[in-house]
Amino acid sequence: MSARGLGPIELVPPGEGRTFDLGGMAIAVFRTRDGELYATQARCPHKQGPLADGLVGGRSVTCPLHARRFDLATGQAHGGECDALRTYPVFERDGQLFVELRTESQVQACRV
């Protein structure tokens, strides 16, 4: 398992998400108002909406295009109306954000 640095945590304002580009593959990182961090695939499985532009609340994000809502921890879509999101472990250390990419296939998978 390897963790990759994304930069200072301030890049993501509280309650919002941002898309990070790791050399051609993208993930969305969210920071809730309670200070929790989550990372998921960058694009919505429905019609590729940019999830980092969604509204974050509780432990969920609502896609900005057609309002499908996803649990950030499990990736599941509320009401099961959409495929689940891939999720990645993400954490902060010394003010820096890190994401864990577990397998090569996960890395591949980011290229949506």
Partner 1 sequence: MSRKQRLVVIGNGMAGARFVEELVARGGRERFEIAMFGDEPYGNYNRILLSGVLAGTHQAKDVFLNPLAWYDAHGVTLHAGHRVTAIDRALRVVHAGEVAAPYDLLVIATGSSAFLPPIDGLMKDGALVDGAFVFRTLDDCSAIRKRAETARRAAVIGGGLLGLEAARGLLGFGLQVHVVHRVSHLMEVQLDPDAGHTLSRSVEKLGVKVHLDKETVGVRTQDGAVSAVLFKDGGELACELLVVSAGIRPNAELARACGLEVARGIVVDDALQTSDPHVFSIGECAEHRGQLYGLVAPLWDQGRVLADRLTEREAAYVGSRVSTKLKVAGVELAVMGERDAQPGDEVVSYAEPSRGIYKKLLVRGGKLAGAILLGDASAAPALLQAFDRGAELPETRAELLFPSASSSCPALDLDALPEDAQVCNCNGVTKGAIVSAVKSGKRSMKVLCDATRAGTGCGSCKPQIEALLAAAAEGAVTEDPSVHWYVPGVPLPKPDLVREIRARGLKSVSAVFRELAAGRGLASGNDDPASKTGLASLLKTLWGKEYVDERDARFINDRVHANIQRDGTFSVIPRIYGGVTTPAQLRKIADVADKYEVPMVKITGGQRIDLLGIPKARLPDVWRDLGMPSGHAYAKAFRTCKTCVGTEFCRYGVGDSTALGIAIERRFQGLESPGKLKLATAGCPRNCSEATTKDVGAVAIEGGRWEIYVGGAAGSRVRKGDVLCTVDTQQDALTIIGRFLQYYREHAKFGERTWAFVERLGIDRLKSVLFDDSEGICARLDGDIQAAVDAYVDPWSEGQAPVHQTQFAERIDVPVSALKRVAGGRR
Asked if residue 63 binds ligand FES (CB under 6 A), the reply is: yes
Taking the chain, what is the end-to-end CA distance rounded to the nearest angstrom? Answer: 22
Residue 104 engages partner 1 in binding (rule: CB under 8 A): yes
Q: What is the nearest approach in angstroms of partner 1 to the Cβ of residue 10?
A: 7
Q: Residues 47, 78, 102, 111: which binds ligand FES (CB under 6 A)?
A: 47
Nearer to ligand FES, 39 or 82 (CB): 82
Which long-range contacts link 77-80 to residues 24+ away (Cβ below 8 Å)?
77/45
Smallest distance, ligand FES to C-beta of residue 89, A: 23
| Candidate list 38, 39, 40, 82; residue touching partner 1; CB under 8 A | 82
Are 20 and 27 spatial neighbours (Cβ–Cβ below 8 Å)?
yes
Contact residue for ligand FES among 27, 28, 42, 44 (CB under 6 A): 44
| Tokens read off for 5 | 């640095």
For residue 112, the 8-state DSSP code is -
- The rounded distance, in Å, linking the Cα atoms of 53 and 108 is 23
